[in-house]
């Protein structure tokens, strides 16, 4: 792939105790349309599958994500509307977060809402998307996933209550 790739594996207590391998990609193209987008999505999704060599199977508190920033002179309006209005579906415990940047205006288009499925990661995806699409504008510190922190604490309290009942 032409562009810049970076990979990071990190354990997130605030994302329901999950190890996430994130592939960040920035690519400059003349034009992006739905077919080119789907081909890029498939290539990057295959790439992130090879990035984490641990034996733990994907889905067992382990996931992977791609944050793909495509800077283009010409963006298909249908693709731009699709990326901005709906979550891009991936596979089980394998997410894809696209960002389309208009090379002329610098405007970044990505999904700004927080979906129920995979929502614990979206604060982190949006933060990375902002840093990659417009460097220097976002904070250097990765944000806390409040949804994930709530779920993590709730799980700990639930497990503690379960253990306390067993020990009685």
pLDDT values of the chain reduced to their tens digit, one per residue, 168 residues = 567 778 888 888 887 888 888 889 999 999 999 999 999 888 888 887 777 777 777 777 888 888 999 999 999 999 999 998 888 777 777 888 999 999 999 999 999 888 777 778 888 888 988 888 887 776 778 887 888 888 889 888 988 888 888 988
pLDDT at 2: 67
Which pTM value belongs to this model?
0.82
**Closest C-alpha to 64, from 75, 80, 53:** 53
> What is the rounded CA–CA span in Å between residue 21 and residue 9?
4
Q: Is 141 exposed, middle or buried (0-12, 13-18, 19+ CB in 10 A)?
A: exposed
E strands present in the chain: 4-12, 18-32, 62-75, 94-102, 108-109
Which residue carries 């499925």 as its tokens? 117
pLDDT for residue 8: 86
pLDDT of residue 70: 94
């Amino acid at each position: 792939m032409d562009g810049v790739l970076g990979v990071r594996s990190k354990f997130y207590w605030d994302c329901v105790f999950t190890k996430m391998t994130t592939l960040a990609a920035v690519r400059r193209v003349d034009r992006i349309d739905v077919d080119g987008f789907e081909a890029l999505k498939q290539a990057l999704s295959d790439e992130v599958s090879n990035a984490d060599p641990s034996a733990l199977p994907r889905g067992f508190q382990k996931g992977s994500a791609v944050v793909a920033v495509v800077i283009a002179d010409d963006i298909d309006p249908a693709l731009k509307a699709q990326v901005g209005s709906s979550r891009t579906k991936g596979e089980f415990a394998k997410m894809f977060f696209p960002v389309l940047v208009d090379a002329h205006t610098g405007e970044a288009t990505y999904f700004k809402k927080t979906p129920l499925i995979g929502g614990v990661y979206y604060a982190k995806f949006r933060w990375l998307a902002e840093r990659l699409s417009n460097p220097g504008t976002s904070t250097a510190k990765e944000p806390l996933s409040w949804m994930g922190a709530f779920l993590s604490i709730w799980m700990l309290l639930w497990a503690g209550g379960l253990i306390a009942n067993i020990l009685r």
